[in-house]
Amino acid sequence: MKRYTYGICLVLLLLAGCVFLEGIDQPTTAKAGEELTITMHNRIDVADGGRSNVRLIIGFLAPKSWAATANSNITFTTTSYGNGKMVPVPSSVSPGSGLSWSEALKNRFGMGGNYMTDELEWVVFWTEQAYNVPQGVKENIDVTIVTKPGPENMQFKTGYFLGTSSEGLSDVFGSNNVYKCQFKDCFTITDGTGDVIDFCNPQIAAVAPGMATDNDLLTISFDPDVVPTPLNGVGNIYFCAKGYTTDGQVLENCAQTESSLLKEYTGNKSAFTFWPRAYFNMQEGQTLEKIEYFFTDASGTVKVGFSNTANPFVYTFKCQ
CA distance 163 to 15: 7
> pLDDT digits over 78-109, tens only?
988 889 999 999 999 999 878 999 999 999 99
Spatial CA neighbour of 153 closest among 206, 199, 101, 189: 189
Pair (205, 174) in one structural domain: no
The C-alpha angle with vertex 191 and arms to 190 and 195, in degrees rounded to 5, equals 75
- For the chain, the domain total comes to 2
Pair (28, 137) in one structural domain: yes
Question: For residue 63, what are the β-bridge partners?
Answer: 120
Within 13 Å and on the Cβ side, how many CA atoms surround 300? 9
180: alpha, beta or left, given left = phi > 0 and alpha = psi -120 to 50?
Answer: beta
Pair (296, 186) in one structural domain: no
DSSP H helical ranges for the chain = 101-109, 276-279
Pair (208, 262) in one structural domain: yes
In this predicted structure, what is the pLDDT of residue 176? 54
Question: For residue 122, what are the β-bridge partners?
Answer: 61
CA distance 89 to 97: 15
Pair (32, 133) in one structural domain: yes
In this predicted structure, what is the pLDDT of residue 9? 38
Q: How many residues does the chain have?
A: 320
- Domain end, chosen from 196, 212, 236, is at 196
In this predicted structure, what is the pLDDT of residue 313? 93
**How many C-beta neighbours within 10 Å does residue 56 have?**
32
In this predicted structure, what is the pLDDT of residue 177? 67
Pair (146, 207) in one structural domain: no
pTM: 0.76
- Domain end, chosen from 179, 196, 213, is at 196
> pLDDT digits over 280-301, tens only?
999 999 999 999 999 999 999 9
H helix or E strand, kind and range, residue 53: strand 51-54
Within 13 Å and on the Cβ side, how many CA atoms surround 210? 5
CA distance 274 to 254: 14
Pair (212, 265) in one structural domain: yes
Burial of 158 (0-12, 13-18, 19+ CB in 10 A): buried
As a dihedral over the C-alpha atoms of residue 195, residue 110, residue 122, residue 59, rounded to 10 degrees, the angle is 120
Q: Residues 9, 162: contact at Cβ < 8 Å?
A: no
In this predicted structure, what is the pLDDT of residue 14? 38
Domain that holds residue 289: 201-316
In this predicted structure, what is the pLDDT of residue 163? 85
| Residues lower than pLDDT 70 in the chain | 1-17, 48-50, 134, 172-177, 320
193-198 and 152-164 beta bridge pairing = parallel
